[in-house]
Amino acid sequence: MKRRDFITLLGGAAAAWPLAASAQQPATPVIGFLNSASAGPYRQMVDAFRRGLNETGFVEGRNVSIDYRWAEGQYDRLPGFAADLVRRNVAVIVATGGAIPAAKQATSVIPIVFPVAGDPVGAGYVATLARPGGNVTGLSLQQTDVASKRVELLREAVPGLRRLAILANIGNANVVLELGEVQAAAYKLGLEAAMAEIRRAEDIVPAFEALKGRVEALYVVAEPLVFTNRARIHTLAMAARLPAIYNSREYIELGGLMSYGPDFADQFRRCADIVDKILRGTKPADIPVQQPTKFDFIVNLTTAKALGLTMPESFLLRADEVIE
C-alpha cells in the first residue's frame, strides 16, 4: 500500500470513528411490562410503579421507556407478547400473575421482575427467596403463608360458619398453591369447602349460580382475572348474601366485606427499586426476593351491616382500618 493511500484510509477511518462510537452508545433502556389482565384495573399499580421509577431517577419518556402488553384476560396471548418483548431486546421484563411463566419460558437471559407473586419458590420462579438464581426476582405476596389466617378471620366474622366456597381461576397455575392451603385450613377448622372454578370472565356468573344454597361464606383467591372482575364478584357475592374475604384493599374500596394482605400499590412501587438496580447493572440472581413489610386487615362495616353481620368489638379492634 502506498503511503498516500494509507494516510487517506487512516484519515477516513478517524473521521468515521466518532460516528461508529456514537452508534454504539446505549440507547434509552426499554422496560417490558407484561400483564394478563387489562390496563384499567391496574392504573393505580402502574402509577405506583412509575412513581417508584421517578424516585430512582428514571422518568418514563425522558430516560426510560415502557412497552406495555396487556392480554385482556386472554392467557393464550401471553407467550406471543413475551416473545415480542424478547425480540425487541428490552432491558428488563416486569411480569405479573400468569404472565410470569410466559416471560420465564420466553427468555433465560433478559431479567424478569415480578411485583407480586403468591409463592415464587413453590411456583418454581426462583430457587430460594434469599438466592433467586437465574434471571428472575421480585416481590412475594406470601399468599400461601397467610391463606389460613384469612380462613380464620372469615370464620370469626361469620358465626356458625360450616360451609365455605372458594372462588379460584384454576387456569392460573399460581392459584393452585394457595388453593391447597385454603382447603387445608378449612379442613383443619372443620369447614366443608366447595370449589367455584373459573377460567374466564364468562365463568363467574355460572360459578355463583352453582353455589346457591350450598355455602355460607366466600374465600376469593386473587389473581389478575379475579382482580379485573372484582366489582362483578362483589355484586354477585352481595346478591347471594355471602360474606367474602379478599387479599387487598382494592376489593374493599368497591364494597367488599374484608381483606387481609399487603398493599399492592406499594408492591409495585418497590418493584421499581429492583428494576433500578438491574438497569444499573445488578444481576437478578443477586437480588433477594422481597417480602411484604406489613399486612393490612381492613373491614367494611357498612357491608357487614348490609349482610346482617354483627362484628364483635374485639374483632374490629384488630383491624388496621374500619370503613363505615
Average pLDDT per 10 consecutive residues for the chain, totaling 324 residues: 43 39 59 94 95 97 96 92 97 92 97 92 93 96 86 95 95 83 95 95 96 96 91 96 95 95 93 98 97 92 96 93 93
Q: What is the spatial distance between Cα 194 and Cα 305, in angstroms, rounded to a whole number?
A: 25
Please indicate, yes or no, whether residues 169 and 192 belong to a single structural domain of this protein: yes
Task: Specify if 21 maps to a domain.
Answer: no
Please indicate, yes or no, whether residues 133 and 93 belong to a single structural domain of this protein: yes
Q: Which helix (H) or strand (E) holds 192?
A: strand 192-198
Please indicate, yes or no, whether residues 129 and 171 belong to a single structural domain of this protein: no
Please indicate, yes or no, whether residues 208 and 316 belong to a single structural domain of this protein: yes
Please indicate, yes or no, whether residues 176 and 237 belong to a single structural domain of this protein: yes
Please indicate, yes or no, whether residues 111 and 154 belong to a single structural domain of this protein: no
Please indicate, yes or no, whether residues 151 and 241 belong to a single structural domain of this protein: yes
Task: Specify if 17 maps to a domain.
Answer: no
Please indicate, yes or no, whether residues 107 and 238 belong to a single structural domain of this protein: no
Task: Specify if 308 maps to a domain.
Answer: yes
- Asked if residues 32 and 88 have their Cβ atoms less than 8 Å apart, the reply is yes
Which pLDDT value is given to residue 281?
Answer: 96
Range of the domain at 275: 30-141+264-286
Please indicate, yes or no, whether residues 73 and 164 belong to a single structural domain of this protein: no
- The CATH number assigned to the domain holding 306 equals 3.40.50.2300
Which pLDDT value is given to residue 67?
Answer: 97
SS3 17: helix
Which stretches of the chain are DSSP H helices?
Answer: 3-24, 43-56, 78-87, 99-106, 143-157, 173-188, 204-211, 224-228, 230-239, 249-252, 264-279, 301-306, 313-317
DSSP output for 65-123: EEEEEE-TT-GGGHHHHHHHHHHTT-SEEEE-TTHHHHHHHH-SSS-EEES--S-TTTT
Could you give the number of structural domains in the chain? Answer: 2
